[in-house]
Amino acid sequence: MDQADHTFHVTLRFAPTGSVGPAVEGSWASRATAEHKLREWIGLYGTTPATATIRLWEQHPDGRRDTLDAWPQATA
């Protein structure tokens, strides 16, 4: 499927991983733009993982969502 049919989202949630809190989200047709925003938000809000989580995800035309990157990174 054409990449142009996909939407890329970055979500910044002001709460630790797994918690519910206020969030800001942006959506872009360009993956490169969304990746740039992810890095920008990590630089601005990522100094304390206990207070923010940031996720880059892709939404497919059929509604599926794939996480492409996240901060803080999940640990095994």
- pLDDT in the model for residue 55: 93
Residue 67's contacts (CB-CB under 8 Å, 6 or more residues apart) are 55, 56, 57
- pLDDT in the model for residue 33: 97
Q: How many CB atoms lie under 10 A from the CB of residue 61?
A: 11
pLDDT in tens, 17-71: 666 778 899 999 999 999 999 999 999 887 766 778 899 999 999 999 999 999 8
Phi/psi for 32 (5° steps) reads -60, -40
pTM: 0.79
| Residue position matching structure tokens 């519910």 | 20
- pLDDT in the model for residue 1: 42
Residue 14: pLDDT band with limits 50, 70, 90:
confident
Cα separation, 32 vs 17, in Å, equals 25
